[in-house]
Structures are given as structure tokens and as C-alpha cells.
Amino acid sequence: MFAHGFGVSQSIWRFITPAFEEDYKIILFDYVGCGDSDASAYIKERYATLDGYVLDVLEICEALKLTNVIYVGHSISSMIGLLAAIKQPERFSKMVFIAPSPCYVNNEDGYVGGFKKKEMENFFESMERDYINWANEAAPTIMNNPDKPEFTEELIKSLVTTDRQLMRQFALATFFSDHRKDLLKFKKPALIMQCAFDIMAPLQVGDYLHAHLEKSDLKLLKAKGHFPQLTAPAETIREIKSYLG
């Protein structure tokens, strides 16, 4: 099961899934409000926190009667998958977390999430003030692959063509969430794939996750930025396959 992160859709996996189709049943989906999903199914109260997205994952598992799931989550979908596996551990066998973060905001207890609280507030103010300008400014920094401008353009297009209010709600549920306490409840084997120069998930976050997830492996990728499945698919595939054996 491949789960996309904030601001994109299942198409983000198009360079990855062909490498696994011979050996696995592939499950792809769009969260409600993203990609080709039915936006009319969006319920603001349900998706006010990540719990609504967790329910999406579990309802797909139920509808398709899935067990022994290898869950591959990108960005915030790593935490969505972690929470789903805590709720229904019998569904999942292994987890792969690509560029994950349990909390994006630095904390007074010394935790480094990558952003000061004021920076995150400015992030949302910019989104509210001029959404299109925000997308055009944020995407290059998040992608961080100036030599591959086509992927930055793809991210911008995905952001600006998605319902802005739904994106804002998803962003609030994502970037002000703190799931550090949930890490100790998670007992499944997990691979943490950490990217170089990733503004959304700096190296300290990968180290923190590895230290707090009981059965985790940490792999530092050569890939830069937040989207290695786009910018470095060969490396991404190689590390996932190596982990799965």
C-alpha cells in the first residue's frame, strides 16, 4: 500500500510501483480532497486531525480485506500509517516511512522538528494571503532539486489545482500535529528513509524516530529534498527492496 503525502496524489508513486508489481499486489489511493478523489465526501470535522486520514487507510483495508500489508508512506502519511498500525496491528506486517516526521515544530524540550512556531504561523499566513504565490515560493524549497525543474512545476500544479480550503485543513492537521508520544506505542518493523537537505524532515528528525521506534532501521539517502520517489526513484526502489529482502 503506497500512501501519498500533503499536496500531491497517488501519481507521485508512478516511478516506484512498476518495480514491485510482479511480486506484490499494489494498492494506490487518493485521500479525500486530493487527486481524483470525490471532494464531496470531505467532512471537515472528520479531517480536522490526522484521525480522518487514518480512517481512510483502515477503511480501504477493510473494503479490500487486506492483511499482511507492507505500508509505504511518504511524509505525513508515515504518521498516518503508524497510527493505523497502532489501531489495527493485525493488518500490517512492515512499514516503510519516506521523509517522515512526528512533529514539524521545534519544542522547548529540545526536540528539533525543523520549524520555529513563528515560522509555521507565517507559513499559514502566507497560504491565506496569496495561495498561488505561496505555492510558487514553497515548492522549489520543498523539492530542492533545481536541476530537475519539471518536478517543482509538477508540485506547484498539484498544489494550485487542489481545493484550497481542503489543502489548508490538511496542512493544519499535518504541520501542527505532534505524534511523538505515539511512537512508543508502535511495535511493527519499520524502515525510516531520510533524505539529505530536506527542509520538511531534517536529519535530527530521522535520528529521533530511529531512537524512539523499537524495531526501526534508518537509511540515509543520497537523494536531496522531500520527494525521492520522484527525484531519485532508482535509489528509493533499491533501498525498499533491500529492506524487504
Kindly give the interhelix angle for 164-175 and 117-129, rounded to the nearest 10 degrees: 180
What pLDDT does residue 181 have?
Answer: 97
Query: pLDDT-based confidence at 234, cuts 50/70/90?
Result: very high
Query: What's the whole-model pTM score?
Result: 0.95
Type of residue found at 28: L
Structural domain boundaries in the chain: 2-244
Q: Specify the CATH superfamily of domain 2-244.
A: Alpha/Beta hydrolase fold, catalytic domain (3.40.50.1820)
Most confident of 163-167, 168-172, 190-194: 190-194
The catalytic residues are: 75, 198, 226
**What's the angle, vertex CA 45, arms to CA 39 and CA 47, rounded to 5?**
60
- Joined together, the cell numbers standing for residue 84 give 493505523
Q: Is 190 helix (H, G, I), strand (E, B) or coil?
A: strand
Q: For residue 42, what are the CA distances in angstroms to 33, 78, 131, 145?
A: 6, 21, 20, 33
Q: What is the pLDDT of residues 75-127, one digit of tens each?
A: 999 999 999 999 999 999 999 999 999 999 999 999 999 999 999 999 999 99
Q: For residue 221, what are the CA distances in angstroms to 115, 131, 154, 233, 237?
A: 22, 31, 22, 11, 11
Q: Is the pLDDT of residue 133 over 90?
A: yes
